[in-house]
Structure 1
Amino acid sequence: MKHTLSVLVEDQSGALSRISGLFARRGFNIESLAVGPAESPGISRLTMVVEGDDLTLQQMSKQLDKLINVLNVIDLSKFPAVERELMLLKVAAKNEQRSSILDLVQVFRAKVVDVSDDALTLEVVGDPGKLVALEKLLKPYGILEIARTGKVALERASGVNTEMLKSSSNLNNLPA
């Protein structure tokens, strides 16, 4: 199972190295990592996606908590959370294909951020599933380059689990 960890750390040199080293020594691959300033000066938030069972991740969280600069570790996979990712995608776009590509851009609420004679560069923000879906639809046109930020996430203050709402509304739409 994939887990999204939110880790608050003191903004000190070497903190990221110690955290990634802990995962590397245990043979864990960090699938996604985003780091940036948190709500308080001198504090950074790391959002990482790792794969493993609940017991193993619980043990890793405890070991993370023991590191000097780590202030707090939360496994957001256990709580309702808002998750977003940014993707820049450069797609081949010949004149005869542009209108169909631009139709997809509108559906996915993406933005065209650069245009050339033979390519469009798009910016799209959303949950990781949305990004994968757009990438899949644009693949036949010819994807030239992709850059993704990795997932950032925060626990929902409302406590509302939108994933549960999506699945229950899908059940309501099934034919009788």
Structure 2
Amino acid sequence: MSKALENASTASTKQHIVFRLLKKSLTVIAAFSALGLLSYLFSLLTKIHGKSLPESYFANGYPSILGLLDSELFMGFVFVVTIGIICYTLLLFWRLHEVAVHKAEAMSSAHTQIVFALSLCGLFIDKTWWVLAIIIAFGRWDVLANRLSSIISNGLKGDK
């Protein structure tokens, strides 16, 4: 009985691995297809000089880079990649900016709203507010409160 369960589990695991591999490969194919399609669509929006290649595009009988730069499809590809890199960089900057808020939410801190407000002030007013939000979000306030409480307690009791 356990041998049958083990065989079924192994077959299920193999199917799961094949399914994940197929899913990954289809995702990569779809991404490259979308990139190619976007490049082609942006190339339709341009009209550069014409289609005949002048003799200045060649050096010693070999084509130079100017021919590639004159291609509408290549320039559409460059545009799509440039816009993608700019969007990805802006996304990374936003994630960096929101690191304090995510840390406060992950710790289920009572300071989540003030960290969010300080983070927005840091975005629009001054970066000092963002630094203060980072300090509040990553500070161990329970440890600080216990330590301050023990200092005050020791000060009131006094060592006589």
TM-score range, shorter chain: under 0.3
TM-score computed with the length of structure 2 as normaliser: 0.20
Which structure has more helix as a fraction of its residues?
2
Which structure has more strand as a fraction of its residues?
1
The structure with the larger Rg is 2
Greater length-normalized contact order (CA 8 Å, ≥ 6 residues apart):
1
